[in-house]
């Protein structure tokens, strides 16, 4: 994007932020910008009562870097407990820096006493392990970030 245009948009957003407006729309030279403030009840700066999710939402942070670095997430398809190895004594399935092949088991999710193997979908290098061994995970949570090779 033209840096001048970008700056202009930033200015407008800033203006809007400082205003009491709920909605804002502007069209100029082929660019239409629409801003809206709301979703008050679930705003981030909400007071003490807000739920503190028990499970760290590392996904949010990581998914930003991911886009920048072309990282592919491996997510859990079920709720359960994350294990890096098949037993406490065993060596982990994978560690950061390892190359994994498609269909290779990367971890286990225990759900209702059953051990479910989670597999990589494509070949790549484990860039980041996002959950600690033995920690609970929720549906859809990102477990690993993989850099395609």
- Is position 7 an interface residue for its own copies (rule: CB under 8 A)? yes
- Is position 122 an interface residue for other proteins (rule: CB under 8 A)? no
Interaction partner, residue 90 (its own copies, other proteins, none; CB < 5-8 Å by kind): none
Window 18-57: contact mask with its own copies (x via CB under 8 A): -xxxxxxxxxxxxxxxxxxxx-------------------
- Is position 44 an interface residue for other proteins (rule: CB under 8 A)? no
At CB < 8 A and 24+ separation, what contacts does 30-35 make? 31/5, 33/9
What is the C-alpha to C-alpha distance for residues 16 and 37, in angstroms, rounded to an integer? 9
C-beta closer to other proteins: residue 30 or 40: 40
Helices (H), the chain: 3-18, 58-69
What is the C-alpha to C-alpha distance for residues 39 and 43, in angstroms, rounded to an integer? 6
- Is position 3 an interface residue for other proteins (rule: CB under 8 A)? no
Which run of H or of E encompasses 93?
Answer: none
- Contact positions vs other proteins (CB under 8 A): 20, 22, 37-43, 46-55, 78-81, 111-112, 136-141
């Amino acid at each position: 994007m033209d840096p001048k245009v970008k700056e202009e948009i930033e200015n407008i957003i800033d203006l809007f932020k400082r205003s009491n407006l709920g909605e804002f729309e502007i069209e100029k030279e082929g660019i239409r910008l629409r801003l809206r403030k709301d979703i008050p009840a679930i705003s981030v700066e909400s007071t003490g009562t807000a739920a503190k999710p028990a499970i760290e939402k590392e996904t949010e942070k990581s998914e930003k870097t991911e886009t920048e670095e072309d990282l592919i997430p491996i997510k859990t398809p079920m709720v359960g407990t994350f294990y890096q190895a098949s037993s406490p004594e065993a060596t982990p399935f994978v560690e950061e820096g390892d190359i994994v092949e498609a269909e290779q088991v990367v971890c286990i999710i225990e759900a209702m006493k059953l051990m479910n193997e989670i597999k990589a979908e494509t070949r790549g290098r484990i860039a980041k392990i996002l959950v600690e061994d033995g920690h609970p995970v929720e549906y859809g949570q990102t477990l690993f970030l993989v850099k395609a090779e």
